[in-house]
Amino acid sequence: MVENNESKPQDGILDSAAAEKATETIDVEKILEKYDRESTTRTLNPSWKTIVKVICILFSLFQLYTAAFGVYEAQIQRSIHLGFVLVLVYLLYPARISQRKSGLKVTDVLFALLGLAVGAYVVIEYTDLMMRAGLPTKGDIIFGAICILLVLEASRRVVGIPITIVAIVFLAYSYFGPYFPGMFAHRGFAYTRIITHMYVTTEGILGMPLGVASTFVYLFILFGAFLHKTGLGKFFIDLALAATGHKIGGPAKVAVMASGLFGTISGSSVANVVTTGTFTIPLMKSIGYKPEFAAAVEAAASTGGQLMPPIMGAAAFVMSQFIGISYIEIAVAAALPAILYYLAVGVMVHMEAKRLGLQGLPKERLPKVKKVLAEGWHLLLPLFVIVYLLLKGYTPLRAALVCIIVTVVIAMMRKNTRLNIKDIFDALEGGARSAIGVSAACACAGIIIGVVTLTGVGLKIANGIVVLSGGSFFFTLVLTMIASIILGMGLPTTAKYIVLASMAAPAIMKFGVPVLAAHLFIFYFGIVADLTPPVALAAYAGAGIAGADPVKTGFNALKLALAGFMIPYIFVYNPGILLIDTTLPEIILMVFTSLVGAFALALAGSGYWMRNLRFWERVVFLGAAITLIFPGIVTDTVGLSIMVCMWYLQKRSVKNLLPK
């Protein structure tokens, strides 16, 4: 039984009864084990625990060293990184979850040593490998085959079976190409060619996804680990509690604000739900929200964190390398859609509270905003610094390195945030552990990308999507959305983005859609898949905390995240919302109308404004939302006119209901 002590309100914030109810003991470990595969690490004895800790710290120090003094050649950097990852996977993750408490197996130690060997082989033989390119030796084939098997099993243990099955299917496709029907047939490749392509070149396991993971993604994860160690997560919760806890439906607004802030430094929807939800969900229930709705609010807010700049999910860094656009440009483009998403969720929460007549928490028993900011404002400085550095043209790798140093220095400003040597080592270890899942997924996704580059199947699949849609742009988008959600049911965001970027995004771009809009489209649906039944992991994790029905929670979360399903279509049809090819006056108008549109969308989803809305009124508000979020003078005029008319009708009907 594990309690999230950092999430508990401080003494004096709430009365004793409310505090006890709001911080009831929750089995966090069990919830994470069930819904977050990366949390299913085994129980180690003290000796092995120390060994793993040392390996994790060395891993982080290696990454910091290369960030400070220069990254090695691609294959060397990625091989060393892969070696660390494979060693840690087999030492930390059992073959079956049921074996978590049975100790370390001899076979796992053997696999860890083999993981070290396949990484070291490329480093030691690097010069010879480059000299004999295309003429592999027996050793190359043996180590390559072992590497592929180790990566597949590592991804199964850490990420899950779906991505492993996809990678195996792709490997089979590369070999059995002549037996596939129609446009998907190809001449097939010898196993020696497949193995060397996956192991030796930068087109397979050591490809771009692992390259991104082994450089700035790791540094950003490490940056997040240091921020978390300073207490930034608790600061976000306290700030949200102080700013919104006393308002109508306050605890739900606390969840939206805290999860949005925390999500900027967390790359996992489920981890975000569990971290903030252990505090916010019981608090929401304590004032009258139904368990299913409380869990759904936390799930929708936590999932949106990966969409929120300045630090989006790891997939955003991979996207930067895929499409050749700087990360800061992606973050700037994603800002307005993310704000619209959170505005829509926040308004739905507010309207639900008004409909149920739920009040906030007593203001006198909440922390004061000024006091919270006075005690923790300095913790926000690293976030501002990283935005400044990225805008100044620093590479993400260098920006993250500088901000890790800045975080440590700034934390020393106050006694309550000061880091000692143990804290620093813990952050180094935590960063390594958090990076394992992303890197394992990227290595396995590298196999899929390797088959795509070897066979050209990506373009075939893109053409197949267009043909299947009958050449219709809209139906191409729908099919891509469905594919994104289906893949999202079993893959982490980074892996699903890599797969879809190779096969689905090209289908959208065939219609002249800007590359950034096409890739953000699949990025969005890959993320909101965490809320989509039947496998809505973020919603189910929230349901586990709330003691709620998982299916009902999933559909409530789906309703709250309605904006996340609409906005991608809008920026594909009109990329102006991504600030592409637009002017300042257009941006100002677009921001205003989009915010009103998000408000209208929230009304349609919540079914309440000044009173309960009839079905036809919700449909009208949905139409107003669509016309307002789509940029354009005609659509904006129509949308604003609808909102004015509906406001008048609402005021009139409410007035008529008042007693004479």
Contact 600, 355 (CB under 8 A): no
Question: In the structure, what pLDDT confidence band is assigned to residue 5 with cuts at 50, 70 and 90?
Answer: very low
Contact 358, 288 (CB under 8 A): yes
Question: In the structure, what pLDDT confidence band is assigned to residue 238 with cuts at 50, 70 and 90?
Answer: confident
CA atoms within 13 A on the CB side of 245: 25
Q: 3-state DSSP call for residue 556?
A: helix
Q: Which letter, b or e, does each residue of 414-453 get, where b requires 16 or more Cβ atoms within 10 Å of its Cβ?
A: eeebebeeebebbbbbbbbbbbbbbbbbbbbbbbbbbbbe
Whether residue 32 has pLDDT greater than 70? no
- What is the mean predicted confidence (pLDDT) over 40-46? 87
Name the residue type at position 398.
Answer: R
Whether residue 452 has pLDDT greater than 60? yes
**Distance of alpha carbon 128 from alpha carbon 138, whole angstroms:** 13
Q: Kindly report the backbone phi and psi dihedral angles of residue 617, in degrees, each rounded to the nearest multiple of 5, phi listed first.
A: -70, -35
**Distance of alpha carbon 6 from alpha carbon 277, whole angstroms:** 12
Max alpha carbon distance in the chain (Å)?
A: 93
Residue 637 β-bridge partners: none
Strand intervals (E) in 532-599: none
pTM tops 0.75: yes
Question: Which residues make Cβ contacts (< 8 Å) with residue 149, sequence separation at least 6?
Answer: none
Could you give the percent of the chain with pLDDT greater than 90?
35
pLDDT (tens digit per residue) in 333-370: 988 888 888 888 888 888 888 888 888 888 887 888 88
DSSP secondary structure string, 309-331? SSS--HHHHHHHHHHT--HHHHH
| pLDDT score, position 658 | 56
Question: Which residues make Cβ contacts (< 8 Å) with residue 656, sequence separation at least 6?
Answer: none
Contact 229, 270 (CB under 8 A): no
pLDDT (tens digit per residue) in 153-206: 999 999 888 889 999 999 999 999 999 988 889 999 999 999 999 999 999 999
- Name the packing angle between helices 74-92 and 421-455 (round to 10°): 110
End-to-end alpha-carbon separation of the chain, Å? 58
